[in-house]
Amino acid sequence: MSAIKKVVLAYSGGLDTSVILKWLQETYGCEVVTFTADIGQGEEVAPARAKAEALGVKEIYIEDLREEFCRDYVFPMFRANTLYEGEYLLGTSIARPLIAKRLAEIASVTGADAVAHGATGKGNDQVRFELGVYALQPDIQVIAPWREWDLTSREKLLAYAETHGIPVEGKRGTRSPYSMDANLLHISYEGGPLEDPWFEPEESMWRWTASPEASADQATYLELDYRCGDIVAINGEVLSPAKVLESLNQLGSKHGIGRLDLVENRYVGMKSRGCYETPAGTIMLKAHRALESLTLDREVTHLKDELMPRYANLIYNGYWWSPERFLLQQLIDGSQVTVNGTVRLKLYKGNVVVVGRRSETDSLFAPEIATFEDDAGAYNQQDAEGFIKLNALRLRIEALKKQTH
């Protein structure tokens, strides 16, 4: 590994990445470029500028990526009804490829020869950042301080901050025992008492949603309009992707929707407990499936269902920028051209209930054929006999052969 001259750091402005910033300068004697993005984490990004400046940074990138995040990452993923291990809506995973892309691009623009991030050596995020960066900027070097340094405890980190004059906010307040991550799609909780999978998190852990118990007593009905598999309007009001998520997060939170408590399998090899709040995502998954049920061909639906776990793995494991993800996305996107129409939902105390779905242009529902009533010959029941007979033929031959052999 050659000497590093300039490194682009994914910088939140918080204590950890501020320490990293300083540590990079000290350890590598290199220039640091900071990159801070608003992806809806709910914290101001503007203060990152002053902090970076105070640490001597000259090239400071602060960007509002909320629309891009929702439009180019969250929405495509929801077209596949993506769930990791049957449950997880991939709220953290899907934010990483965008950060990786911008790190790679800023490195290119600023002539940096390395990027750095604040993810630990135990988690999936390091993999997601680095696979993305390597795929987009193959010659780059990656610095992952948590895998390198000796600041292996919170105490040492605080000591380093103190020594180097890095301000430690809220030092004296009570610190959450949980490691959290948030963006427009979700907020996650890991660590601390959650490391016991038998432990039920206390109500105060959850930051976004009302508990079902405390949620609104009146149900909300709403209609979502879809175009090519993406939500384009809520109750008739056209909204941008980020506005869709904001809106549904608000509604979902009010109705206690989107909490999840699970044990998942990390790519690096161990099981890990996580709790998630994904109000908008929970609503979107349910609604999208409902519209697909009306507008997608059966075999296309089944093909998507069979490919989905693999697609989810790719995103979870950090392969967004891989050629196999692109190809699967092409197939998924191709399937969505008919996913146009409206879904009507009822939200109530943690429940997302589909109460109606329609499509003026693409419904494949043929009541004249499906009806229990007289269908005027639209469907010939005699056909079923031949259908069954030929589908049964191999089974019958096998049973007959078994009898005679």
> Minimum Å distance from CB 103 to its own copies?
14
> Minimum Å distance from CB 57 to its own copies?
26
46 forms part of the interface with its own copies (CB under 8 A): no
362 forms part of the interface with its own copies (CB under 8 A): yes
Nearest one of 319, 23, 349 to 163, comparing CA atoms: 23
Q: Is 42 known to sit in a ligand binding site?
A: no
Q: Which is nearer to its own copies, 50 or 370 (CB)?
A: 370
Considering only 27, 120, 176, 220, the residue that binds its own copies (CB under 8 A) is: 120
Q: Which is nearer to its own copies, 55 or 88 (CB)?
A: 88
Considering only 3, 44, 139, 174, the residue that binds its own copies (CB under 8 A) is: 139
150 assigned to active site: no
Catalytic residue among 16, 72, 261, 333: 16
16 assigned to active site: yes
**What span, in angstroms and rounded, lies between the C-alpha atoms of 370 and 356?**
17
96 assigned to active site: yes
142-160 burial, b at 16+ Cβ within 10 Å, e below that, comes to bbbbbeeeebeeeeebbeb
265 forms part of the interface with its own copies (CB under 8 A): yes
272 forms part of the interface with its own copies (CB under 8 A): yes
Q: Is 16 known to sit in a ligand binding site?
A: yes
Q: Write out the binding residues for its own copies, residues 197-236 only, by CB under 8 A.
A: 197-200, 212-213, 219
Q: Is 124 known to sit in a ligand binding site?
A: yes
253 assigned to active site: no
Considering only 195, 246, 277, 315, the residue that binds its own copies (CB under 8 A) is: 195
Residues marked as binding for ATP?
A: 10-18, 37, 118
Q: Which active-site residues does the annotation give?
A: 16, 96, 125, 179
